[in-house]
């Protein structure tokens, strides 16, 4: 690996001329004096800045034209990571943590700034020592992917791994996951593992663990307390409730979305309140009406990905729908306007899709409320063309459910029946 990863042009020349490598501690004299560690850069960044990790954990960029002098600082001293001895307490319950990526179950090397997955229970308890007083945590890394790179094949790997532990003596299972696509994964697991005998919590963090404002530890502790005290099963997304460091919200895996790009309370239950709230040591059952009906566990870990999510908008070209038909998609989920409408310019292609035996489902772009296609003439026309209204199912959840339904059925009638069945609280009561 290059000693100057991500640097080029003037910034690379500056580092070489001063015999400075990435990962070395330096003091930079500019408008004020900065002390920190030289960090790697993105490949496509300009060549006029250095990136410095301050002792606070934050990274800053410094323009070369503002730097008066740079010198190494204690470069001959190496930081020694002290291994924390971790002893399990027999009296405590057991929790399994499966890591798929993200920062929630990662550690930061403050010399290089690299984020690496936590591989052992010792590392996990060293990172969040409070956990050792709550439960015995076993940690396992399934894979390490950014959230946007999690694909349906990863859902299958997670589900199959969870199925291996369905008869274990764990009190619950945490899945460490990147936040951006967490609700897609939680939706699939909710359907594929319906009736799973112990609770499952998907946990992420909005702020990386090297930042003072990180929510990683609180989310992880809150999820552990939730799993031990919720006295139910099902799949949940467990994240910060708001900007305060006191409350963690536990959302049904099929009723949640990420509604903010960066704030810690980004996840919200759509159309209702979170299923549980964890405040310090107290677990409050918060949603009394949408709980899963107890059922026998039967794993159905199959899916087909040839499902399209079509977000209708004024000016949508119906020929795009024709392309979907040409690609042999077997289901289309429409994200329609208002009560569940798409423009009449789409009708011909919708009719063609229906005749081909493609499942057609309607959701709404509105965050709150239900699809009701009998109110207006246009909605009734779409019903006659074979579109199935999907109540208040979140569009992304409907997409995932249609993939799962296709993988567990043999006809469009079976798919329709599955899509209208409330399996994991995806349709609110």
So which residues are the catalytic ones?
Answer: 103, 179-180, 258
- Displacement of CA 28 from its chain's centroid (Å): 38
Which tokens belong to 394?
């979140």
Residue 113 region by backbone torsions, left for phi larger than 0, else alpha for psi between -120 and 50, else beta: left
Contact present, 16 and 4 (Cβ < 8 Å): yes
Burial readout 337-363 (b: 16 or more C-beta within 10 A, e: otherwise): bebbbbeeebbebbeebbeeebbbbbb
Which tokens belong to 18?
């001063």
**Rounded CA separation 23/3 (Å):** 9
Burial class (CB in 10 A: 0-12, 13-18, 19+), 143: middle
- Displacement of CA 281 from its chain's centroid (Å): 25
Contact present, 204 and 183 (Cβ < 8 Å): no
Sequence-separated (6 or more) residues with CB below 8 Å from residue 77: none
3-state SS string over 228-281?
A: HHCCCCCEEEEEECCCCCCEEEEEECCCEEECCCCCCCCEEECCCCCCEEEECC
Pick from 110, 120, 109, 111: nearest CA to 85: 120
- Beta-ladder partners of 116: 107
Contact present, 194 and 229 (Cβ < 8 Å): no
**Rounded CA separation 403/109 (Å):** 39
Beta strands 256-258; 267-269: pairing state: antiparallel
């Amino acid at each position: 690996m290059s000693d100057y990863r991500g640097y080029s042009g003037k910034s690379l020349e500056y580092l070489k001329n001063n015999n400075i490598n990435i990962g070395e501690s330096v003091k930079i004299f500019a408008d004020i004096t900065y002390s920190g560690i030289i960090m790697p850069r993105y490949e496509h960044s300009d060549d006029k800045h250095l990136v410095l990790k301050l002792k606070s954990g934050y990274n800053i960029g410094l323009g070369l034209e503002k730097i008066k002098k740079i010198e190494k600082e204690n470069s001959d001293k190496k930081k020694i990571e002290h291994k924390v001895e971790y002893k399990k307490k027999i009296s405590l319950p057991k929790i399994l943590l499966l890591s798929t990526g993200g920062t929630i179950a990662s550690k930061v090397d403050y010399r290089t700034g690299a984020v690496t997955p936590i591989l052992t229970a010792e590392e996990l308890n060293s990172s969040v020592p409070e956990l050792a007083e709550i439960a015995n945590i076993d940690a396992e890394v399934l894979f390490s992917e950014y959230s946007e790179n999690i694909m349906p094949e990863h859902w299958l790997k997670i589900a199959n791994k969870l199925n291996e532990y369905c008869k274990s003596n764990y009190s619950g299972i945490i899945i460490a996951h990147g936040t951006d696509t967490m609700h897609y994964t939680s939706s699939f697991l909710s359907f594929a593992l319906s009736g799973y005998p112990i609770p499952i919590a998907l946990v992420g963090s909005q702020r990386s663990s090297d930042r003072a404002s990180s929510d990683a530890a609180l989310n992880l502790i809150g999820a552990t307390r939730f799993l031990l005290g919720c006295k139910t099963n099902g799949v949940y997304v467990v994240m910060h409730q708001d900007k305060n460091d006191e409350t963690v919200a536990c959302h049904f895996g099929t009723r949640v979305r990420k509604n903010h790009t960066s704030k810690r309370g980004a996840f919200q239950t759509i159309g209702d309140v979170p299923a549980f709230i964890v405040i310090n040591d107290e677990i409050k059952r918060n949603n009394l009406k949408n709980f899963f009906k107890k059922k026998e566990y039967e794993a159905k870990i199959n899916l087909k990905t040839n499902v399209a999510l079509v977000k209708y908008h004024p000016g949508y070209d119906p020929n795009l729908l024709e392309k979907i038909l040409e690609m042999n998609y077997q289901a289309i989920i429409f994200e329609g306007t208002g009560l569940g409408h798409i423009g009449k310019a789409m009708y011909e292609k919708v009719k063609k899709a229906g005749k081909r035996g493609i499942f057609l489902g309607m959701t709404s772009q509105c965050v709150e409320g239900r699809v009701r296609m009998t109110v207006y003439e246009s909605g009734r026309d779409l019903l006659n063309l074979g579109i199935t209204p999907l109540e208040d199912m979140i569009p992304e959840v409907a997409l995932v459910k249609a993939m799962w339904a296709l993988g567990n059925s043999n006809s469009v009638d079976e798919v329709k029946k599955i899509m209208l069945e409330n399996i994991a609280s995806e349709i609110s009561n």
